[in-house]
Amino acid sequence: MNSPISSQADRSILSSLLCRTELLLALVIIAVCILTGLVNDRFLSLDTLFGILRNSILMGILAVGVLVVMISGGIDVSFTGIAVFALYGTTMLLQHLGLTDSVLLAFAVAGIIGAGLGLINAVLIGSFGLPTFIVTLGTLSLFRGALLTLLGSSMISSLPHSMGLIGKTMLIRGTTAEGSFYSLPAAFLVVIAVAVVTWLLLEYTVLGRNIFAIGGSRESARRIGINILLTQYFIFTYVGFIAGIGGLVHGSLTRTADPLDLVGRELSVIAAVVLGGARLTGGHGSVLGTLLGVGLIVLVTSSLIMLGVPATWQNVVVGALILIGTAVPTLQRKLRERRR
């Protein structure tokens, strides 16, 4: 028979585990895989696994950038506009200059374009003190409108050689015993690189601690001497740079530069970040949690497709996941208070 002290210790351990967002997400992902696999045994196969990883590439890159903004207490919805602008602008510039063979140059140009557009957000938000959501909502429309007006509105299907090379190079490829083909593009390494660099930035640099401090309490951050203006300039420029890289990778994988692409993808990316533990009030979030949130969103979407659920229900599920992701931190906070 368990003693009261032992039972209390068990409850304390359980509460501690439930307060770990990453662990909860991992358990949910495992549960979704098991349940979907029981209904459709084709789900638990190599081609499905690599398909999920492949579909997570763009969302993973963009979500890591959005995480940085949300940790600082802001929100950015302009990243898809920046990504498409950088993709289309890079494609036209490289073709016009005849510089179509360098992969590093393609990444550099896309990153610079994205950083430049992110800097516009930084000036409006940091220097003029405008709300992040209103500014980025406006610049989302501004960037898309400028793209269609100044650069063009027709889809480009003949990409520079360097961009085609990014999409064609594979890390893993093969065929299952049933004859199904599976592959994982080398572009998946970009997700890993962006995640590692951002993790190191947030966890082991003074700048990263400043970002968390601003999200926790801007007034307190100002009182201890943190330069909020320069930090905000870095945040939105960095997010723009990541979005530009994400746009280039997306175009390379789809092998097209479509100025009308990625419309409406903002909600899914923000949902992944919220599910990963980031709070709209700022001061919380982790790269690992964000990547698990991305995995869950892509996994649920793939599961619905394999189960024959209409595509219109995907938005319903994403909306529900946002509500759950917002409610979970409140539950975790209550569990921590009860444990104390």
Q: 236-270, pLDDT tens digit by residue? A: 999 999 999 999 999 999 999 999 999 888 988 99
In 153-205, alpha helices (H): 161-168, 188-204
Q: What is the pLDDT of residue 221?
A: 94
pTM here is 0.90
Question: Please, which pLDDT band fits residue 9 given cuts at 50, 70 and 90?
Answer: very low
Alpha-carbon distance 75 to 73, whole Å? 7
Question: Please, which pLDDT band fits residue 1 given cuts at 50, 70 and 90?
Answer: very low
Residue that wins the pLDDT comparison between 47 and 247: 247
pLDDT over threshold 60, residue 2:
no
Alpha-carbon distance 63 to 272, whole Å? 7
* Largest separation between any pair of C-alpha atoms in the chain: 79
Q: What is the pLDDT of residue 22?
A: 84
- DSSP 3-state of 334: helix
Average confidence (pLDDT) over 101-111:
95
Closest CA to 236 of 90, 65, 83: 65
Q: What is the pLDDT of residue 17?
A: 43
Question: Please, which pLDDT band fits residue 324 given cuts at 50, 70 and 90?
Answer: confident
Q: What is the pLDDT of residue 207?
A: 96
pLDDT over threshold 80, residue 331:
no
Q: What is the pLDDT of residue 180?
A: 79
Q: What is the pLDDT of residue 287?
A: 96
Q: What is the pLDDT of residue 5?
A: 47
Alpha-carbon distance 95 to 157, whole Å? 12
- DSSP 3-state of 175: strand
Q: What is the pLDDT of residue 197?
A: 98
pLDDT over threshold 80, residue 118:
yes
Q: What is the pLDDT of residue 325?
A: 72
**Residues in CB range of 335: below 8 A, 6 or more apart:** 15, 18, 19
- DSSP 3-state of 91: helix
Tokens 């501690």 belong to 16
Q: What is the pLDDT of residue 332?
A: 66
pLDDT over threshold 70, residue 77:
yes
Alpha-carbon distance 246 to 83, whole Å? 6
Average confidence (pLDDT) over 1-23:
53
Average confidence (pLDDT) over 23-47:
85
pLDDT over threshold 60, residue 8:
no
Task: Taking each helix axis as running N to C, give the angle between helix 206-216 and helix 188-204, from 0 to 180 degrees, rounded to the nearest 10.
Answer: 80
- Average pLDDT over the chain reads 88
Alpha-carbon distance 123 to 115, whole Å? 12
Q: What is the pLDDT of residue 6?
A: 46
**Residues in CB range of 280: below 8 A, 6 or more apart:** 70, 75, 274, 326
**Residues in CB range of 12: below 8 A, 6 or more apart:** 339
Residue that wins the pLDDT comparison between 3 and 203: 203
In the chain, alpha helices (H): 4-18, 21-39, 46-71, 79-97, 103-122, 132-146, 161-168, 188-204, 206-216, 218-223, 228-254, 266-275, 287-306, 312-339
Question: Please, which pLDDT band fits residue 7 given cuts at 50, 70 and 90?
Answer: very low
**Residues in CB range of 218: below 8 A, 6 or more apart:** 73, 228
